[in-house]
């Protein structure tokens, strides 16, 4: 089995004739878009032009998506390759050339009235009813065509460039550890080591290494957030959060209900952290370097082949279609497994619906947590499989529901593992799950607080690295409370989390809490309903690209604006905390 992914289904390289042809076609299509945009008569509306506009958007979306996916995926595994960087920049520049025409076309689509009559005459457009309504809403915030064009072009050397710099600096950072030079993902993986001395020394080495890049990365964060603030204001949004909620297809009332429930249950998670600290011999709360300290006696290590067999075995009893997809992912080189210099840290999944596949990046070390990460990312791939037959423009789901299938997968694999475990291993598995849940609830809340504060404070002036450290520490104290030792927090978490560095996607934090709790609620329904739930689950995932999150939830009789739904999921985690305390 190949340990690195293959992107050949997209292109076989930058010298591939198909890659060159598609780049040329993108240029040609961009020119067609420009010419079409100039012919649109805004003084009158023609249904024929609406049909043409949608057809142009379909062609452009597929072609640009393929080229962007290929170049960005290549860059994620080799950020220091100058040729790849040049190709990424070239594609970004090509895409920016179409921004003015795309803005004009969307404005024209937004003028469509009597939609029901149009849908009757043009049945294909009926399939785009939801996205057309979104375009009509977004059009209220579009600027003039020329300004949209300038924003897109300048972004290449602004927000996008600052994003690339953070990715480059963190992926190539050399960390000195015990006389050797290792990568940032490698040093962060040592947080899971059995040896408490290793965990603490790795934590100290990580913080020390941040000194080398903190100032440069602070410029990335400041300039990205300033850009987002500026553009949000120009577009007439009250805040970047309002823009994010619109992008998320989510009401503020839903976010408020989620955060209300989380704040109510923070004491339960602090109780878990304090108890873990006590068991590990700490008296002042849990130090950051022991957040991921393993407990119990689950010392099993997995090869990639063992991880594959383990996942397929457990998911076969859940749903054969997802087990088959997992087999294909391993067999057909969808996954890039191991950490290496130049490769970005963490893990992600990129759906590529137009080739009916996905690509998954992990930094696999063989721990059970890495197997859970694979299950998580393969959940994203399964979500991609559920939406791959949609119309081309109906293949994007919003941030909150993006984590639904992935976190649902985690629930499946963890519950199966706990059921099979003996008493000693059960403790290890429950504690491992509590580690993960604490991250998507407590740490995510701290990230939400941090990003909110940075958006506000960056309006007043530049935030130097030390100021960003203070904001991060304050957010961690507010979220973790007395669960953590205040002398051993992580002031540089703003450097290592890439989610802060997207100029197009702010607040990529609360969707993890949303996804975790939403998936937990869905999993409880599955346990109650058995196989009868699976068709609903698949239908729900498919609906994520053509409904608001509130309407998606209604497919399973869930009211997201009611804090009680979120409390039910959190209550189940509190019960898990009680079990952990009893076991220890």
SS (H, E, C) 334-366: CEECCCCCCCCCCCEEEEEHHHCEEEEECCCCC
Predicted pLDDT of residue 100: 86
> Boundaries of CATH 1.10.1370.40 in the chain?
304-426+512-568
Band (384; pLDDT cuts 50, 70, 90): very high
Instruction: Give the tens place of pLDDT for each residue, 222-244.
Output: 999 999 999 999 999 999 999 99
| Residue 475 vs residues 286, 443, 460, 480, 493: alpha-carbon distances, Å | 16, 9, 19, 8, 11
> Boundaries of CATH 1.10.1370.20 in the chain?
163-296+435-501
Query: d(Cα 479, Cα 482) in Å, to the nearest integer?
Result: 9
Element (H, E) at 413: helix 404-420
| Displacement of CA 363 from its chain's centroid (Å) | 16
CB 478 within 8 A of CB 369: no
Mean pLDDT, to the nearest integer, of 408-415?
A: 91
- Which single residue is written with the structure tokens 């809490």? 513
Band (556; pLDDT cuts 50, 70, 90): confident
Q: Which CATH number fits domain 304-426+512-568: 3.40.50.720, 1.10.1040.10, 1.10.1370.40, 3.40.50.300?
A: 1.10.1370.40
Computed from CA positions of residues 530, 532, 536, 537, in that sequence, does the dihedral angle turn out positive or negative?
positive
Strands 335-336 and 180-182, by their bridges, are unpaired
Predicted pLDDT of residue 300: 78
- What is the CATH code of the structural domain delimited by 17-144? 1.20.140.70
Query: d(Cα 549, Cα 535) in Å, to the nearest integer?
Result: 18
Query: d(Cα 120, Cα 124) in Å, to the nearest integer?
Result: 9
Strands 348-352 and 357-361, by their bridges, are antiparallel
Predicted pLDDT of residue 425: 84
Mean pLDDT, to the nearest integer, of 401-409?
A: 91
Band (301; pLDDT cuts 50, 70, 90): confident
Q: Does the pLDDT of residue 60 top 90, yes or no? A: yes
Query: d(Cα 516, Cα 403) in Å, to the nearest integer?
Result: 7
- What is the CATH code of the structural domain delimited by 163-296+435-501? 1.10.1370.20
> Boundaries of CATH 1.20.140.70 in the chain?
17-144
CB 311 within 8 A of CB 409: no
Query: d(Cα 259, Cα 339) in Å, to the nearest integer?
Result: 34
| Residue 549 vs residues 243, 245, 370, 434, 444: alpha-carbon distances, Å | 15, 11, 29, 26, 19
Instruction: Give the tens place of pLDDT for each residue, 88-138.
Output: 999 999 998 998 899 889 989 998 888 999 999 999 899 999 999 999 998
Predicted pLDDT of residue 465: 98
Predicted pLDDT of residue 170: 94
Q: Comparing C-alpha atoms, which of 182, 215, 181, 187 is closest to residue 201? A: 187
Instruction: Give the tens place of pLDDT for each residue, 251-263.
Output: 999 999 999 999 9
Predicted pLDDT of residue 33: 94
As given in the structure block, the two tokens for residue 387 are 């939406």
User: What does pLDDT average to over the chain?
Assistant: 94
Distant-in-sequence, close-in-space partners of 55: CB < 8 Å, separation ≥ 6? none
Predicted pLDDT of residue 528: 87
As given in the structure block, the two tokens for residue 310 are 């383990």
How far is it between the farthest Cα atoms of the chain? 75
* Lowest-confidence pick of 323-332, 419-428, 509-518: 419-428
Q: Comparing C-alpha atoms, which of 136, 113, 106, 101 is closest to residue 27? A: 101
Label residue 562 exposed, middle or buried (CB < 10 Å: 0-12, 13-18, 19+). middle
CB 553 within 8 A of CB 559: yes
Strands 335-336 and 357-361, by their bridges, are parallel
Band (415; pLDDT cuts 50, 70, 90): confident
Strands 348-352 and 180-182, by their bridges, are unpaired
Predicted pLDDT of residue 273: 98
As given in the structure block, the two tokens for residue 438 are 């604490």
Label residue 170 exposed, middle or buried (CB < 10 Å: 0-12, 13-18, 19+). buried
Q: Does the pLDDT of residue 298 top 80, yes or no? A: no
- Which single residue is written with the structure tokens 């503020």? 252
- What is the side-by-side order of every strand in the sheet holding 357-361? 335-336, 357-361, 348-352
Distant-in-sequence, close-in-space partners of 499: CB < 8 Å, separation ≥ 6? 447, 505, 508, 509
Query: d(Cα 379, Cα 358) in Å, to the nearest integer?
Result: 11
Residue 180, helix vs strand vs coil: strand
Q: Comparing C-alpha atoms, which of 66, 238, 42 is closest to residue 144? A: 42
CA angle 130, 134, 140 (to 5 degrees): 155
Predicted pLDDT of residue 41: 84
CB 526 within 8 A of CB 536: no
Instruction: Give the tens place of pLDDT for each residue, 544-553.
Output: 999 999 999 9
């Amino acid at each position: 089995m190949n340990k690195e992914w293959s992107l050949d289904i997209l292109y076989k390289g930058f010298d591939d004739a198909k890659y060159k042809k598609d780049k040329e076609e993108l240029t040609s299509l961009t020119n067609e878009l420009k010419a079409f945009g100039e012919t649109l008569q805004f003084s009158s509306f023609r249904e024929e032009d609406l049909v043409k506009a949608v057809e142009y958007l379909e062609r452009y979306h597929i072609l640009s998506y393929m080229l962007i996916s290929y170049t960005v995926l290549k860059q994620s595994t080799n950020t220091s390759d100058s040729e790849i960087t040049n190709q990424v920049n070239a594609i970004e520049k090509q895409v920016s050339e179409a921004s003015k025409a795309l803005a004009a076309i969307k404005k024209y689509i937004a003028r469509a009235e009597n939609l029901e009559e149009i849908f009757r005459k043009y049945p294909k457009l009926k399939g785009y009813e939801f996205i057309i309504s979104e375009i009509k809403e977004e059009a209220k915030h579009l600027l003039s065509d020329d300004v949209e064009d300038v924003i897109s072009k300048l972004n290449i050397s602004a927000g996008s460039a600052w994003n690339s710099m953070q990715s480059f600096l963190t992926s190539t950072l050399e960390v000195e550890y015990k006389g050797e030079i290792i990568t940032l993902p490698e040093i962060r993986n040592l947080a899971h080591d059995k040896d408490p001395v290793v965990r603490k020394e790795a934590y100290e080495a990580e913080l020390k290494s941040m000194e080398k890049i903190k100032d440069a990365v602070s410029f990335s964060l400041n300039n990205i957030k300033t850009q987002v603030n500026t553009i949000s204001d120009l577009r007439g949004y009250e805040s970047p959060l309002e823009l994010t909620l619109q992008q998320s297809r989510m009401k503020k009332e839903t976010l408020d209900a989620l955060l209300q429930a989380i704040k109510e249950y923070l004491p339960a998670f602090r109780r878990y952290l304090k108890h873990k600290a006590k068991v590990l011999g700490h008296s002042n709360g849990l130090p950051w370097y022991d957040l991921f300290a393993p407990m119990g006696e689950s010392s099993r290590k997995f090869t990639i082949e063992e991880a594959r067999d383990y996942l397929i075995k457990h998911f076969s009893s859940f749903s054969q279609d997802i087990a088959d997809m997992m087999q294909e992912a391993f067999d057909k080189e969808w996954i890039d497994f191991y950490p290496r210099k130049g490769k970005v840290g963490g893990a992600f999944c990129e759906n590529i619906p137009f080739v009916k596949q996905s690509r998954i990046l992990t930094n696999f070390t063989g721990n059970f947590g890495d197997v859970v990460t694979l299950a998580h990312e393969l959940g994203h791939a399964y979500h991609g499989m559920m939406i791959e037959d949609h119309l081309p423009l109906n293949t994007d789901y919003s941030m909150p529901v993006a984590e639904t299938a992935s976190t649902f997968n985690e629930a499946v694999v963890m519950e199966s593992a706990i059921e099979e475990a003996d008493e000693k291993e059960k403790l290890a598995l429950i504690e491992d799950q509590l580690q993960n849940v604490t991250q998507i609830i407590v740490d995510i809340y701290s990230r939400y607080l941090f990003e909110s504060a940075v958006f506000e404070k960056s309006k007043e002036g530049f935030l130097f690295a030390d100021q960003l450290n203070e904001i991060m520490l304050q957010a961690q104290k507010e979220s973790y409370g007395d669960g953590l030792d205040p002398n051993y927090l992580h002031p540089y978490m703003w450097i290592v989390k890439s989610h802060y560095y997207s100029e197009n996607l702010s607040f990529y934090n609360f969707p993890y809490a949303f996804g975790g709790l939403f998936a937990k609620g869905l999993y409880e329904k599955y346990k109650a309903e058995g196989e009868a739930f699976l068709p609903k689950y698949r239908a729900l995932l498919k609906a994520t690209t053509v409904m608001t999150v509130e309407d998606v939830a209604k497919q399973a009789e869930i009211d997201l604006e009611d804090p009680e739904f979120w409390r039910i999921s959190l209550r189940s985690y509190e019960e898990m905390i009680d079990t952990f305390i009893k076991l220890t």
